[in-house]
């Protein structure tokens, strides 16, 4: 099983929640909070800070959390994903998109009421915990678990196996 550790950044601004538009290998696009895979030898918060800087040009000086942890398992595709989402408490810089990986192609602050629509095309493990947090704003960590069945990206079935509380 291939395993990934991912950091997700929840960055709030006066105009809403910061989301980035990602261009996927198959050409489709989706929106998500900034963040990404933590490299070997990096701490989670160090890697998350790097990812947010690379994707958005913003420098996060302080994080709170994690707000939620996601664990998704896809045995048919041979991978396991663990995500920790943290809230940016102190942020500086100007929003710019210059992702060295070429994945992030746009970034903007989205009114919280519009986030569900913007995130609709994304996987449930990206969308559901974030929408839950935006609606409830809890302080202690919540855990979300997902089982992913199938091997073809267009025909997978995702089941949430924990309530997220």
Query: What is the pLDDT at residue 165?
Result: 63
Q: pLDDT tens-digit profile of 113-129?
A: 999 999 998 999 999 99
Spell out the SS3 assignment of 51-76: HHHHHHCCEEEEEEEEEEEEEEEECC
Q: What is the layout of strands, in order, in the sheet containing 79-92?
A: 35-37, 2-10, 79-92, 59-74, 142-149, 157-160
Query: What is the pLDDT at residue 154?
Result: 75
Question: 113, 34 in Cβ contact below 8 A?
Answer: no
Whether 4 shows a pLDDT value over 80: the answer reads yes
Query: What is the pLDDT at residue 24?
Result: 85
The parent domain of residue 120 ranges over 2-160
Domain count, the chain: 1
Indicate which CATH number applies to the domain containing 153. 3.90.79.10
Whether 51 shows a pLDDT value over 90: the answer reads yes
Global pTM value:
0.94
Query: What is the pLDDT at residue 162?
Result: 83
Query: What is the pLDDT at residue 126?
Result: 95
Q: Is residue 138 part of a domain?
A: yes
Q: Is residue 165 part of a domain?
A: no
């Amino acid at each position: 099983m291939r395993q990934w550790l991912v950091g997700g950044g929840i960055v709030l601004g006066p105009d809403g929640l910061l989301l980035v538009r990602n261009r996927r290998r198959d050409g489709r696009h989706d929106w998500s909070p900034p963040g990404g895979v933590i490299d070997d030898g990096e701490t989670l918060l160090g890697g998350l800070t790097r990812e947010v800087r690379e994707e958005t040009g913003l420098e996060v000086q302080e994080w709170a959390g994690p707000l939620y942890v996601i664990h998704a398992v896809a045995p048919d595709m041979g991978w396991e994903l663990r995500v920790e989402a943290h809230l940016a408490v102190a942020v500086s810089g100007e929003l710019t998109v210059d992702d060295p990986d070429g994945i992030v192609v746009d970034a903007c602050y989205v009114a919280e009421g519009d986030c569900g629509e913007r995130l609709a095309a994304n996987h449930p493990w990206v969308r559901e915990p974030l929408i839950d947090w935006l609606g409830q704003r809890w302080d202690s960590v919540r855990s979300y678990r997902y089982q992913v069945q199938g091997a073809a990206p267009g025909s997978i079935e995702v089941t949430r196996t924990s309530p997220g509380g």
